[in-house]
Structure 1
Amino acid sequence: MNDPNDPDLVGRLKERFLEGTNDPIVILNHLLIVRWANSAAINLLGDHAVVGRTWNLTPEAAAESWPLISAARRAADTGSSYMGTLSKPDSVWRFMVIPLRVEAEGTIGVGIHLHNIRELAIAAGHTGQAPTEWRRLFEAVDHPTFVLDTEQRIISANASAVSLLRATSEEELIGHHCYELFHHTDSPPEGCPAAALIASTSPEPQSAEMTALGRVFSVSTSPLFDASGKLWRVIHVATDVTEEKRAWDAAQLYLDILAHDVANYLQAIVFATSSMQQSDNHMRESLVNMVFDSVDRITHLIARARAIEGLETSPLTETVLQDVLTELAEQIRNEHPEVEVKSSLPPVACVVLASEYVRDLFECILENAIRHNLGEDKRVWISLKAVAGGFEVAVADNGPGLTQSEKKSLLNGTRRFGGVGIHQAKIIARRYGATIVIRDRVDEDPQYGAEFAIWFPRPPSLRTEAT
């Protein structure tokens, strides 16, 4: 029978107990070299828990374990205990770091104990405060709000965020990158404020207007730092400004019509009527025709502007893009025989949620490509392909092309450059959660014409099938 006072037996019992627990435990010496770790610690921390491994690491080398390793280093330096939270893709751990002291020698090492608090963290928002108190504050934010890690993975989400993303629970979102769920892409979209904040050498609040899920959001992001001053978390708040944006766009559209197109046609009328007083009968007839032509153009312009009055109330239904594009390509060939139209459409149906106004969207883009091409050999290319999270329709031409400044101005309603058509196309696209990008038909060589790329999100009902 074993002697209960045998020190070797006591040591074996301690080790058996520490090894048998599900909680990771690590013991370091005063040089921060791992001297012992149980299986749970090795499973959680990997190479960082291997005996003989040093914890004198840089934040980059420590990676996601940095909050724990940083706390261990401070405990060894100061002789004080520290607590904190360590987040993994599928778990959240509360850790306690305790300096191990011998009266005659001082701190001889560091003991670390971690406990899985994922369920508590979900309820408490990963702050360590009382669940009911913090959660009440978190849910009081009336806008979709997320807590992200430094790789833009969702750590926590309030009820508004869960509802927006049509999830059944917060757990369904945790661990996913925010851009996967918002934009259905494999990387952050251009202009993402969270990505800009994380990439900054001096993280500070960032904001931007982003289109996602068929809506327009004013997104603000704010940094949270750990005890060492390193970026730890990002607070991401998305305020839905769709209705305000649509009202603004409508006002800009009519301002664009008055300030740009109508003004141009009225100038032509003034010129024609003024010239009549000094012209012979033959020239007078030509000038009268100019007046009538300008009036016709104004009438057409007003009709075009009013054509999308029902855009916001029109129901969105599953629409096959190939059907719309094929019909429009044939229409162009009939109405503009001088234009060569080439289409490249995949055989598999590309289905998006849209209304009858999707036809107006493409007409605006195509009309712009034809009207501004003054060359004799006019060509238009229409293509369609599946891309990350949806489909891309590209309309290219061999016209004069656009400078970088013109590309930016053309999609900026406040600049009123390029007429009403493109502005109207942008309004229609936003209704469908689509985005428009202008680029060179030949990369970095605008003299060969422009290309308008319209990205449509894949309908939610079809995303599972696509993946």
Structure 2
Amino acid sequence: MGSLLGLRTCSARRGYNRRMARVMSCIPRTDEHLSRVLIDTLPNPVCIVDSRNRVRFVNRRALGILGDMSPDELVGHSLFEFVAPEDRERAERDLERCTTHFPSNPHEYHIVDRNGERIPIVVTAAALACGKKDECIVCVGAAQSLDMSRGREQLPHSRGMMYLDILRHDIGNQLQIILSSIELLMENKPDECKQSELLSNVLEAVDCCQKIIGYTEDIERLVVEPLRPRRVDLAVRKAIVGIYEERADVDLQASLGVAEGTVMADRFLESLIKGLINELCECNPRKDKWVSVDIDETETEYLIEVSDNGCGLQPNSDRSIFNERNVQDSPGIHFCHAIIQKYRGRLSILEPVLKTPHRGIRARITLPRSESSRIS
């Protein structure tokens, strides 16, 4: 089966979609009854259409949107009968492209429900894994999920948060499909070398899905949790201890020049510091990698500087890994930006710490002092 949403959003490796396309093209055609039983249990509205966009199967959630007909009565109807007239031409083009490659973004349309009302939906789709490409799975993002996301438009970075929220709802479907693909691989027993490669890619996809789900759930909690005075020096210490416990591949160095520094933050302060350290570790290919964490202060701010001995930012990258607009490169960095924005701070990239061929990244988090800790 195909992916219900392109996983490039949750993978830092650019070639992931191409590899997944090769993976899915190798999976043998499955029993249709098994496929439909699986799809019928998915939480989002899903339907299967043929190469002419005629409905072949709809799950129970889709029936509530497409009309009063039974599943058997819907079979043979064009999917675009239910799309608003002004969106049909664009929807046909988008779905046609989905049969040849994995979409990198969800497509937004309107459908006309049984009462004649226009409902906004988000559609993601991909070709089923068969050489003829004669079927396509279409997954409809829950309309109420989209409405909830749009209600957050006054929040910082709402567009990125909206896409993450939509992804969180669709990613659960994708996990079920990927895991069922593992079972099908085991049943069909391809050659051992190919089987190992397929399983490795599928498990990586599952791991990416789980990380994305975790980030989006944290962002939801981040939005509603109130700010309170937090000790920034203690947060840095806890983050360093946490990294020591979780990672054995990095040497941590620390210089804590602040005692009892207070900022207005929440329980995600440690997550912010740990997240930035982890991002540098993931970008550093060296076996002898180290990360330095320093904290300093000015009259109005605290400065948390994190640097490493890695290869630094790639030429012409425009510092993209730390660009809050480029969510596709790293959901972790996007989460860091969301936290910093809430704390009214900023994340900046300084000149490399090492003047050698292995020039590291040097990132600084700047957080304002709380009123009680300002130096008069």
Relative to structure 1, the CA distance from residue 347 to residue 359 in structure 2 (aligned partners, 3 Å threshold; closer, same or farther) is closer
2:349 is equivalent to residue 349 of structure 1: no
Relative to structure 1, the CA distance from residue 408 to residue 253 in structure 2 (aligned partners, 3 Å threshold; closer, same or farther) is farther
Relative to structure 1, the CA distance from residue 374 to residue 323 in structure 2 (aligned partners, 3 Å threshold; closer, same or farther) is same
SS in 1 for 2:222: coil
SS in 2 for 1:356: coil
Q: Which amino acid aligns with 2:373?
A: L
* Structure in which a larger fraction of residues adopt strand: 1
- Superposed CA deviations along residues 168-189 of structure 1, whole A, max 9, x for unmatched, are xxxxxxxxxxxxxxxxxxxxxx
- Superposed CA deviations along residues 119-143 of structure 1, whole A, max 9, x for unmatched, are xxxxxxxxxxxxxxxxxxxxxxxxx
1:249, distance to aligned residue in structure 2 (A): 4.0
SS in 2 for 1:393: strand
Q: Which amino acid aligns with 1:243?
A: Q
Which one of the candidate residues 416, 420, 423 is aligned to 2:331? 420
Question: How many residue pairs get matched?
Answer: 222
- Counterpart for residue 364 of structure 2: 453
Distance across 1 between alignment mates of 2:357 and 2:217: 33
SS in 2 for 1:308: helix
Given that 1:401 and 1:446 are in contact with CA atoms closer than 8 Å, whether structure 2 keeps it comes out as no
Which one of the candidate residues 321, 328, 336 is aligned to 1:410? 321
Distance across 2 between alignment mates of 1:413 and 1:338: 27
Q: What is the correspondence of 1:390-401 to structure 2 with a 5 Å cutoff?
A: 390-401=301-312
Q: What is the correspondence of 1:1-40 to structure 2 with a 5 Å cutoff?
A: none
Q: What is the correspondence of 1:113-192 to structure 2 with a 5 Å cutoff?
A: none
- Counterpart for residue 359 of structure 1: 270
2:247 is equivalent to residue 333 of structure 1: no
- Superposed CA deviations along residues 166-215 of structure 1, whole A, max 9, x for unmatched, are xxxxxxxxxxxxxxxxxxxxxxxxxxxxxxxxxxxxxxxxxxxxxxxxxx
RMSD: 3.9
Relative to structure 1, the CA distance from residue 335 to residue 358 in structure 2 (aligned partners, 3 Å threshold; closer, same or farther) is same
- Counterpart for residue 78 of structure 2: none
Q: Which amino acid aligns with 1:364?
A: G
Q: What is the correspondence of 1:64-463 to structure 2 with a 5 Å cutoff?
A: 243-251=154-162, 253=164, 279-281=190-192, 283-285=194-196, 287-403=198-314, 405-416=316-327, 418-442=329-353, 447-463=358-374
Distance across 1 between alignment mates of 2:289 and 2:181: 32
Q: Which amino acid aligns with 1:406?
A: S
Relative to structure 1, the CA distance from residue 285 to residue 373 in structure 2 (aligned partners, 3 Å threshold; closer, same or farther) is same
- Superposed CA deviations along residues 213-236 of structure 1, whole A, max 9, x for unmatched, are xxxxxxxxxxxxxxxxxxxxxxxx
List runs of 5+ in structure 1 lacking aligned partners: 1-240
- Superposed CA deviations along residues 280-326 of structure 1, whole A, max 9, x for unmatched, are 23552453244234213312221222112121221211111121111
- Superposed CA deviations along residues 437-467 of structure 1, whole A, max 9, x for unmatched, are 012332777842101100001112332xx12
SS in 2 for 1:349: coil
Over the matched positions of the two proteins, sequence identity in percent amounts to 21
Q: Which amino acid aligns with 2:257?
A: P
Distance across 2 between alignment mates of 1:409 and 1:257: 23
Given that 1:257 and 1:420 are in contact with CA atoms closer than 8 Å, whether structure 2 keeps it comes out as no
- Superposed CA deviations along residues 93-146 of structure 1, whole A, max 9, x for unmatched, are xxxxxxxxxxxxxxxxxxxxxxxxxxxxxxxxxxxxxxxxxxxxxxxxxxxxxx
SS in 1 for 2:372: helix
Structure with the bigger RCO (C-alpha within 8 Å, sep 6+) is: 2
Given that 2:160 and 2:327 are in contact with CA atoms closer than 8 Å, whether structure 1 keeps it comes out as no
